Structure formats: C-alpha cells, structure tokens
Structure 1
Amino acid sequence: MDIKQLEYLIDIAELKSVTRAAEKNFMSQSTLSREVKILEKRIGVNLFVWDNREMRLTEEGILYLNGARELLQEYKKGMQALERLKAKQHQVIHLILSPKVQYFFRSHIQPEFVRQFPHTSLEVTVRSVSMAEEYLEHGFADLAITATHTPEKFQSEAILLHREAYFLALPESHPAVSAIRNQTFSFTMLDQTPFLLTKGNNVFRKMEQDALSCNHFFPSITYEVETLHTIRKMISEGLGVGFLPEDLTKDEQLNLCFFPLKPAMHVSTILLLPRTGIHKNSTLALRQLILQKFLYFGKFNQQ
C-alpha cells in the first residue's frame, strides 16, 4: 500500500463519505470504493461499515487508521528532513559575465565546475562592466568576470585575469598599409574608408572612441557591428577597417594587417570579488577554478 492510499483512507474516515473523499481527490467514487475493497480483502478485515448513511470505522479500522496516521506523519517528517538536507546541499552562485568572456566561461569553466559541484546551480547574467560592479555592491552577485580598459578604477577587489593590446586592423590590400610600414601614415588616409565599430555602450566601443580621439580623427563613414568576430570577418572581406584585440590577430588566413595603436591601448579581463568577501565554499572553489583556467589558457576566444 502506498502513501497516497493511506491518505485516501484517512479522507474517507474524516469525511465519513466515499463520495466526498473521491471528490476531494479528483477521482470517481467507484475507483475509490474498489481501492478500499481490495485493501480489506488483502488484510482480511472490514475497515468501514455503513451507519445512518455515513461511513464509520470498525474497531479494526480504527486500529489500522491510527497506524496509518503515524506512518504518514513519519513519512512527512522524513520528507521534510530530506528537503532541508537538499536545500542545504543545493546552493546558487550568481555570476555576472561580460559578453567578451561568456563563451570561454561556458566552454572551459562551467562544465568542470558542474562536475565538481553537482548540487550547486550557476545563475549566469551577461552585463556590462558598470552593471557588474553595481550587482556586486548590492549583493545581487557573488562574482563577476568583466572587461575594462581602466582596471585601476574599481572599488571592488579586482584580480587581473588577462591583458591584451588593441590594434588597428586593415585588409592587406588597403593603400594605408604601405604608409604605416613606411611610417608615413596618418589617420586622415582612412577618411573615405568605412570604420567598423562595436555596437552599444561597452568597453570596446569606449576604447574605439578613445583611439580615434587620441589621433584627432573622426571618420566620415561608420558602421556599428554586433561582435568583434564579425568586425574581423568584414575587414578581411575589404568592407572597412577597425580595431581588434590581440586575441583576434592570430589567424593568418584572413589576409589582415595589424598595427599597434599610438598611444598604446589595452583591454583587461578581471575577476571582481565582493568587498564583503566570499563565504561559500562552492564560490571559493569557482574563484580558484577561474584563476586556474585563465592561467592555463593564457588567452581565450572572444564571442
């Protein structure tokens, strides 16, 4: 006999009616009556008798139902204890990622962490660097991995994970390539060339604007593009020029030329920690895994 059947019998005894007990449990009267008769036949006693149109427990039924109530109570206590244990084991880590690192995290860090901590859930939110610090400040996040070109400005504790230079990227066939190599280049040579800039208010767009401002150049033609990979592909197809981080300059098959910016500019990937510290073992383990993976890979593919 299962727990649900015990509950059916208790409902019949308390409601003194098979009909009302069946309605309460969203089942037919005939089905519930059949359940009772099968049980009575199995244990060899009658549990109920009719008395003035009501179902009344027999003496044997009273003994049986008292035991059923105790068993049901112990079952519920056991389930409550199990739920408390599961809640204690199951933790949630709220993590903020910048678009730059989410592919690397989901590919190289998250799978291993899930294997090590199967009862811990990772709630990942993709946000900008300013939002990441705000989430940490107000306790909405446990850790954040984000990109910035001004890591020294953070009030939260920041650990440098990766630093890379930014480059001016041109197709090999562009006339300005030879001028750059001959050190006769001026940004005005790119005035009629479309500049491919990252879309939105993010660290890459800020660096692009700073690079142009530092060189006192404001292109006549600009296009906003969703991702750095798309910008690289469009430059390789001769559709414009742009700025790319060092990690995206390694593919020699794209027929691109890369030149360091003057003044030099860098983007840093940092791990932000809450100022109140880390108090969960699983979060400490995730922090350590992040450091290990970035140290091992050295660089990563950007989305």
Structure 2
Amino acid sequence: MTITQLRYVLAVAEHQNFTKAAEKTFVTQPTLSMQIQKLEEELAILIFDRSKKPIELTEVGKKLVQQARNIVNESERIQDIVDQQKGFIGGEFKLGVIPTVMPTLLPMFLHNFIKKYPKVKLKIEELTTEAIMERLQDGHLDAAIAATPLQNENIKERVLYYEPFVGYIPPSHRLNKKNKIDISDLDIDDMLLLEDGHCFRDGIVNLCKTQKSYDEDHFQLESGSFETLVKLSNEGLGMTLLPYLHTLDINDKEKGNLHFFNEPSPAREVSLIFHKSELKMQIIEALHSTIAGVVKGAITFQNVQIISPISKIKSD
C-alpha cells in the first residue's frame, strides 16, 4: 500500500470517473486504474462499484476513503515540518472567502501579503460557507475566511475581527429620524435581505428572531449584492443592514442614510478557519497576522454583540 495509491483512490472518489481522476493526478488512466486494482487485490476488497454510472464507492470503500484522507493529510504534514524548520513560507495555498467579505477585505490585505510573502502562490475562490466547509473537510481548501462561530469539531477558527452591522435607512422609512437604532426597532417585514445562502442574511434573520416571531413568506425583496439592496432602499422599498466595511465605499450623499446601533452593536465575527489537521500552519499564521494588522486600523468598535451566522438556531 502506498500514499500514491491512496491519492488515486481519493481522486476517483471525488470525480466518480477514472479518466477525470487520472487527469487531475497527472497520470495516464491505465496507470491509475492498475494502481487502484493492485490496492484492491492486496486488501482483498472492492473499493469501487464499477458497474454503476457514475462510479460509486462500496460500503467498505466509503470507510477506506475516510481513513485514506487522514493518511494523506498526515503525510503532507511531513513537508510542513520541513518547511517550518527551514522557515520557508511558500508554495500553493488555496483560500476560500465568503461573498460578503471578498470585495471589502481582499483589497485591504492582498497587495501587502503578496509583497511580503512572494513565494506563496495564493489561489482564492469566492464560496458560500456551506461550500467552504465541505472543501475544507475534503482537503480541497487549505483555509478560508468566513463568519463564525460555526460549531464544527473538525474546523478550527482564529478570529480576525468583529464587524458591526449598520442600518441603511432611506428618508421615507419610519426609523430615519432616529440618530441611533436599537435591535428592538427592527422589523423583518420591512427589511431588504440578501438572497438565501448568504450567512450575512442568516445573521440578520437570527437577529430579528430575538425580537418577535416572523414569517419568511413576508420577506419583500431579496438580492445577491449589497449594492442592489442600497439602490432598492433608495427607491423607498425598505431598509437594509450592511457590514461596516461595506459602508466605507458608500458615496457622501448616501452616508447620510447610515444609522449605527446603540451599544452593544450587533456584529459578525469574521475568522480565518482551517481543518483541525493544521496543515500549512506557517502560511495560515502569516495570513492571520497580515489581515488582523490591516483591519485593526479600519475597525475600532469594541462593545459588540456577536450574532451567529448559523441559519437554524433552536428557539427558547
């Protein structure tokens, strides 16, 4: 049994196709198939049910894949140990970022990070929290930036910053005359929200759940971007909540529609998250220190109330 054979098994399990798996692992399809067959013969089992289209794992194959992933991860730790001993910070690093963080945070730290760590080849992908969690556990991401806490025993979280929610309230709205707003002022029925699947939307729903019962059918309008929500709000269609960093790019005229919360301000916790196996920790540490250092100057709020991004919370 070899690490290479286990890598091939993981590739076929992911792509459910021997040809695609061979392409992804940069070998010929006959070579990949032969190595997997050798492993099956050595173990006297069938890992894959080849009669199914697409190919499926057998029951014992599912258990084997879980263990194979652990073994491959641990084998990669050897290179990590060597890199850390040499003080080397470089190589490919796959980073996932949630959509409501990507446009504001990336421009703040990316240039600094690339300049300071030129040997790191960052591959950044915008993904939902659900997709990030799957890819972290499958080993297809090295780390991610997401709203936390996520309460997953396989995922470790290192807080980067706390970002307050800010009300965007047009002149025609009932709350516009208030200098600062309270959580109790919010009514889910006159709020514009991001589309389902965004954890920031889930945070707002959780925030409003604490005030009164709600009916999801009453949501008026939903959009995929904060920019569209602001435009809809300007048309008098309701208020919305924005993450603080998004408010920094709003034009001077629209800044007059921003209303901060009385303290403690509701806020989201944004963290660098990674698998508990802690691979490539030297790059994770470098990312954390770079981002935290940059954001510290932009967000100075201290007295905040963290709102969970988890969409389904048991009510009391």
Query: TM-score normalised by the shorter chain: which range applies?
Result: 0.5 to 0.7
1:200 maps to which residue?
196
| 1:189-268 alignment runs, 5 A limit | 193=190, 195-214=191-210, 215-218=212-215, 220=218, 222-248=220-246, 253-254=253-254, 255-256=256-257, 258=259, 260=261, 265-268=266-269
Task: Report the identity percentage.
Answer: 20
Structure 1 residue 221: deviation in Å?
5.5
Q: Root-mean-square deviation (CA), in Å?
A: 3.7
Q: Deviations over 1:100-121 (max 9, x none)?
A: 2222443232223323343432
| 1:100-139 alignment runs, 5 A limit | 100-139=100-139
Counterpart Cα distance in 1 of 2:270 and 2:119: 28
Residues 232 and 244 in structure 1, CA contact (< 8 A), matched pair in contact too: no
Structure 2 vs 1, CA of residues 176 and 298 (structure 1 numbering), >3 Å: closer, same or farther? closer
1:141 maps to which residue?
141
Q: Deviations over 1:124-150 (max 9, x none)?
A: 1111223223322222221211124xx
Structure 2 vs 1, CA of residues 231 and 161 (structure 1 numbering), >3 Å: closer, same or farther? same
Q: Which amino acid aligns with 2:205?
A: Q
Structure 1 residue 263: deviation in Å?
10
Q: Which amino acid aligns with 2:132?
A: A
| 1:1-303 alignment runs, 5 A limit | 91-148=91-148, 151=149, 153-155=151-153, 156-178=155-177, 193=190, 195-214=191-210, 215-218=212-215, 220=218, 222-248=220-246, 253-254=253-254, 255-256=256-257, 258=259, 260=261, 265-279=266-280, 281-298=282-299
1:12 maps to which residue?
none
> Structure 1 length normalisation: TM-score?
0.55
Give the number of equivalent residue pairs.
206
Structure 1 residue 220: deviation in Å?
4.0
Residues 144 and 272 in structure 1, CA contact (< 8 A), matched pair in contact too: yes
> Structure 2 length normalisation: TM-score?
0.53
Residues 92 and 123 in structure 2, CA contact (< 8 A), matched pair in contact too: yes
Counterpart Cα distance in 2 of 1:269 and 1:130: 15
Q: Deviations over 1:231-289 (max 9, x none)?
A: 23332342322222344456563131536399964211111132122446445433332
Structure 1 residue 179: deviation in Å?
8.2
1:32 maps to which residue?
none
Counterpart Cα distance in 2 of 1:239 and 1:158: 37
2:169 is paired with a residue whose SS is strand
Unaligned 5+ residue runs, structure 2?
Answer: 1-87, 301-316
Counterpart Cα distance in 2 of 1:278 and 1:173: 52
Structure 2 vs 1, CA of residues 268 and 116 (structure 1 numbering), >3 Å: closer, same or farther? same
Structure 1 residue 178: deviation in Å?
5.0
1:222 is paired with a residue whose SS is coil
Structure 1 or 2, whichever has the larger Rg, is: 1
2:141 is paired with a residue whose SS is coil
Residues 94 and 141 in structure 1, CA contact (< 8 A), matched pair in contact too: yes
